[in-house]
A and B are shown apart, each in its own frame.
Chain A
Amino acid sequence: MALPTLVTEHWYDLRDLSNLSREILEGADKILPHGIVYVLAALIGFVASFLIFVLPSQLIVGVYGERKLIGRMQSRYGPNRVGPFGLLQPIADAIKLMQKEALTPKGADRAVMYLAPIIFVAPAVLLFAVIPFGPKMILADINPALLYFLAVSSLPVLAAFMAGWSANNKYSLFGAMRIVAMSISYEVPLVLALLGVVLFTGTTSLQEMVLWQKHFDIWIVFLQPLALAIYFIAVSAELNRTPTDIAEAESEIVAGYLTEYSGMKWGLFYGMDIGYALAASAFAATVFLGGWSMFGLDKWVPPWMIIIGKTHLFYFVFIWTRGTLPRLRIDQLMAFAWKFMLPVALLNLVLVATERMLWVEQELDDSYLYIFAVVNIWAALGAIWAWSRFLGYRPERNPVRARLVNEAGGYVPVPEAAKGGK
């Protein structure tokens, strides 16, 4: 498979910061001893990702944007006091959190309770290492990048468990139990959904996936809409976003595993929740939405702008669901993972494998990809519809309005026809 050439090869091309950064790294590699450059790259990558991504995106767009958007959805203004349009609100919050006393309850496991926020933060930064922000703008272009992402994203669950267990609080323990149970369940459909993508593109490297999508001028979301839906639901369950935020369900178990945290220890959890959501969005944008490529637009617009835009598109959907949907119960969530998502993901996998085999074995034209896309979109809708009907989903039987009677009296029996399904 011939992959297309990169945007430009010139280091001075300002549209693509990656050339410059790569130039510096490769130059340094020639001068310095071999090992140092890894450390240097890590440092530069950390600082760059912090400056480019974490600071503006997370603090300003993440915290401010989320609060502002949710505010508008809830018919209120959101932050509008600190700085112009309230833009400095996240910074003010951070200063407030740092000044606050970080309480540790009596009887808590102090060491574990201190370690948990730190362990929670580290993977959020590590996740961005494999996200390609441009043709060469990638910190670690490793081959099993997709597996790396899955592996690292399973670490915060441990941190959340440590936080919940160490606090010596029953609500926290509830949260810890819930998050552990849920992450095990949702890892399965998540991996199965991504497996379909790997099957089709034939690689586990994120950069190559982007190049594949660029080469064929089709995004994987069109080829595998079902995989995106499953990925989105599963990842929002792992990230504890509503409708699946049962591990910190505020109306049930106060704040779940965060109940006893305060001050900056809580702030780290809160900030990195947004960090994980952004990482998951960036990953989804890379795998499903073509990453930094955009049907040729990436020749004119800096690719890192494109992927950040796509990331925030996904992040907006996270915010949207948070502002709209109620929360599911834990048994319903589990049932949804095992009874609905797992079979549908398997179905998707079988379909994708068949198409892949047809495409490769029969040496079909590239235009067949578009046929596959149409087929898969319909198959996705059909699979969701059919499987939910099979599981007993009958929306037409739901009562919509209360019955009306004009005379007071005793019990009014429910007519047989009006008895709901499920």
Chain B
Amino acid sequence: MTDAIKTEPFVLNIGPQHPSTHGVFRIKVTVDGEKVLDAEMVMGYLHRSMEKLAEERTYTQNIPFTDRTDYLSSMANNLGYCLAVEKLAGIGVPARGDAIRVIMAELQRLASHCMAVGAFTNDTGAWQTPVMWAFREREKILDIFEMTCGARLTCNYMRIGGVAFDLPAAFEPAVRKLLRELVPFIDEMEGLLVGNEIFLARTRGVGVLTPEQATNASLSGPLLRGSGIAWDLRKADPYCGYEQYDFDIPIGYQGDSFDRFIVRIEEMRQSIKIIKQALDGLPGGPHSTQVPLALRPPQGEAYARVEGSRGELGYYLVSDDGPSPYRFHIRAPSFINLSALKEMTVGGTVADAIVVLGSIDVVVGEIDR
């Protein structure tokens, strides 16, 4: 009698074309009614083989490629790659170049987190309102990028040994005005969502990752911090002079989707703090060192990483004394953060799976590269 009422499990394809997969990404979930029994990721729809292409181009020519991996935080990608090349070739960066890099990377983090927070709340079902509010603020940041380097999305601003151009005169007042506007925006966003019972019900206890799971699955960024591990490369392994700035690492409580959300919100506040300090202490001098265009780093290898918006963004470069990298490997945080997707989704409902995917904050350009 009871066996006859059992429902048959069936496979539901979430993606590749789906409103909530943030690009062309696909999860094959096996569901029994609403409950997820199994989840399998299918990716590669956006694979461009950047790592192969980079082996044919010079070190400088590779910078625009890094824009196109995580297209929501191109500045951080540029920065990570340039740091790796500088480490490989032993090139120093002037103090002003470092400070500009910090400002740009933090502005990019703000823009990327705006997107992450907005898209995540959209996944929980808040119909477009938070994402539109977040986009409004992100547009202002992109305006500043446009003012500085002429591009909004794929900035291509960092160079090996510094940045491409010095800041325009209007930059500093514009950024200060932006920061003044961002503080109430973050409070507004928090007021809209953090106190919202429905939002809490949808995100708390969903996709819980224990610290052990998060560590073992090689996660990084807000996922790791959401699980309560205080690990931020800006503190742990400071680059570009991050040790001069005073900021804190936000961490979560129990590692659920809500914790990742509040960690991102708090990181936006910390970024504002860092940008203010960097603007106040912006040193003079050159913005970049002279680096030969046909750079030939000595034979060797280097692994440099930065704290990108989505986690540890690492570049592993091997040089064979030639003008182009012998091996160019990107440690893509979105890609590796997906390692834990199955653990977080199985046992929940389909709606939870969407929320979990939103809380990981993937960028498909970076997953597939």
A–B contact, 8 Å CB criterion (strictly below): yes
| Measured CA separation A80–B27 after assembly (Å) | 38
Contacts A327-B202, A402-B266, A404-B248 given; does A74 touch B351 at CB 8 Å = no
Report whether B132 and A402 are in contact in the complex, using a CB–CB cutoff of 8 Å.
no
Report whether A251 and B20 are in contact in the complex, using a CB–CB cutoff of 8 Å.
yes
Report whether B351 and A400 are in contact in the complex, using a CB–CB cutoff of 8 Å.
no
- Mask of B335-369 contacts with A, CB within 8 angstroms, 1/0: 00000000000000111101000000000000000
Report whether A325 and B352 are in contact in the complex, using a CB–CB cutoff of 8 Å.
no
Report whether A325 and B19 are in contact in the complex, using a CB–CB cutoff of 8 Å.
no
For residue A197, CB closer than 8 A to chain B, the reply is no
For residue B232, CB closer than 8 A to chain A, the reply is yes
- Which residues of chain B come closer than 8 Å to A75, judged between CB atoms? 132-133, 136
Contacts A74-B133, A326-B202, A412-B229 given; does A402 touch B10 at CB 8 Å = no
| Measured CA separation A76–B231 after assembly (Å) | 38
- Which residues of chain B come closer than 8 Å to A413, judged between CB atoms? 228
| Measured CA separation A205–B254 after assembly (Å) | 54
Report whether A406 and B201 are in contact in the complex, using a CB–CB cutoff of 8 Å.
no
Report whether A326 and B253 are in contact in the complex, using a CB–CB cutoff of 8 Å.
no
CB nearest neighbor in A for B203: A326
B345 to chain A, nearest CB (A): 13
Q: Which A364-422 residues have C-beta < 8 A from chain B?
A: 393, 395, 398-414, 418-420, 422
CB nearest neighbor in A for B214: A411
A206 to chain B, nearest CB (A): 32
Contacts A76-B132, A249-B351, A399-B253 given; does A414 touch B228 at CB 8 Å = yes
For residue B196, CB closer than 8 A to chain A, the reply is yes
- Among A98-106, A266-274, A328-336, which stretch is in contact with chain B? A328-336
| Measured CA separation A334–B262 after assembly (Å) | 28
B133 to chain A, nearest CB (A): 6
- Which residues of chain A come closer than 8 Å to B127, judged between CB atoms? 70, 242, 250, 322-323, 327
- Among B40-48, B118-126, B295-303, B309-317, which stretch is in contact with chain A? B118-126
Dominant SS among interface residues on chain A: loop
Contacts A170-B12, A250-B19 given; does A324 touch B253 at CB 8 Å = no
For residue B198, CB closer than 8 A to chain A, the reply is yes
For residue A254, CB closer than 8 A to chain B, the reply is yes
| Measured CA separation A70–B126 after assembly (Å) | 12
Interface residue count on the A side (C-beta < 8 Å): 53
For residue B18, CB closer than 8 A to chain A, the reply is yes
Interface residue count on the B side (C-beta < 8 Å): 62
- Mask of A246-260 contacts with B, CB within 8 angstroms, 1/0: 100111111000000
For residue B236, CB closer than 8 A to chain A, the reply is yes
| Measured CA separation A131–B37 after assembly (Å) | 48
Contact of B249 among A401, A405, A418 (CB under 8 A): A405
Report whether A170 and B10 are in contact in the complex, using a CB–CB cutoff of 8 Å.
yes
Report whether B204 and A422 are in contact in the complex, using a CB–CB cutoff of 8 Å.
yes
| Measured CA separation A407–B230 after assembly (Å) | 7
Report whether A408 and B352 are in contact in the complex, using a CB–CB cutoff of 8 Å.
no
For residue B235, CB closer than 8 A to chain A, the reply is yes
- Which residues of chain A come closer than 8 Å to B253, judged between CB atoms? 399, 403, 414, 418-420
CB nearest neighbor in B for A418: B253
Contacts A250-B19, A324-B192 given; does A420 touch B204 at CB 8 Å = yes
Q: Which B185-216 residues have C-beta < 8 A from chain A?
A: 190, 192-202, 204-205, 211
Contact of A253 among B121, B266, B350 (CB under 8 A): B350
B300 to chain A, nearest CB (A): 28
Contacts A74-B132, A251-B19 given; does A325 touch B351 at CB 8 Å = no
Contact of A329 among B12, B123, B193, B351 (CB under 8 A): B351
Contact of A74 among B128, B248, B265 (CB under 8 A): B128
Report whether B125 and A405 are in contact in the complex, using a CB–CB cutoff of 8 Å.
no
| Measured CA separation A243–B126 after assembly (Å) | 8
- Mask of B164-200 contacts with A, CB within 8 angstroms, 1/0: 0000000000000000000000000010111111111
| Measured CA separation A332–B193 after assembly (Å) | 18
For residue B56, CB closer than 8 A to chain A, the reply is no
- Which residues of chain B come closer than 8 Å to A402, judged between CB atoms? 225, 250-252, 259, 262-263, 265-266
| Measured CA separation A330–B132 after assembly (Å) | 26
Report whether A414 and B254 are in contact in the complex, using a CB–CB cutoff of 8 Å.
yes
| Measured CA separation A392–B352 after assembly (Å) | 22
| Measured CA separation A299–B200 after assembly (Å) | 48
Report whether A399 and B201 are in contact in the complex, using a CB–CB cutoff of 8 Å.
no
For residue A174, CB closer than 8 A to chain B, the reply is yes
- Mask of A70-83 contacts with B, CB within 8 angstroms, 1/0: 10011110000000
- Which residues of chain B come closer than 8 Å to A419, judged between CB atoms? 253-254
Report whether B34 and A331 are in contact in the complex, using a CB–CB cutoff of 8 Å.
yes
| Measured CA separation A251–B254 after assembly (Å) | 25
| Measured CA separation A324–B232 after assembly (Å) | 33
Report whether B125 and A242 are in contact in the complex, using a CB–CB cutoff of 8 Å.
yes
- Which residues of chain B come closer than 8 Å to A246, judged between CB atoms? 351
CB nearest neighbor in A for B251: A403
Report whether B192 and A401 are in contact in the complex, using a CB–CB cutoff of 8 Å.
no
Report whether B34 and A254 are in contact in the complex, using a CB–CB cutoff of 8 Å.
no
B301 to chain A, nearest CB (A): 25
Contact of B228 among A242, A254, A395, A411 (CB under 8 A): A411
Given A252-B350, A407-B249, 15 more A-B residue pairs with CB atoms under 8 Å apart are A70-B129, A75-B132, A170-B10, A252-B125, A325-B125, A326-B198, A395-B197, A400-B262, A401-B250, A402-B262, A404-B248, A411-B211, A414-B253, A420-B253, A422-B204
For this complex, 28 residue pairs linking A to B, each with C-beta atoms less than 8 Å apart, are A74-B132, A170-B13, A174-B34, A243-B125, A245-B125, A252-B125, A254-B19, A324-B126, A324-B192, A326-B124, A326-B196, A327-B125, A327-B126, A393-B197, A395-B195, A402-B225, A402-B266, A403-B250, A403-B252, A405-B230, A406-B235, A408-B230, A411-B211, A411-B227, A411-B229, A411-B230, A420-B204, A420-B253
Interface residues, chain B, CB within 8 Å of chain A?
A: 10, 12-13, 18-20, 33-34, 121-129, 132-133, 136, 190, 192-202, 204-205, 211, 225, 227-232, 235-236, 248-254, 258-259, 262-263, 265-266, 349-352, 354
Nearest 6 pairs of A and B residues by beta carbon: A327-B125, A408-B236, A402-B250, A74-B132, A404-B248, A408-B235
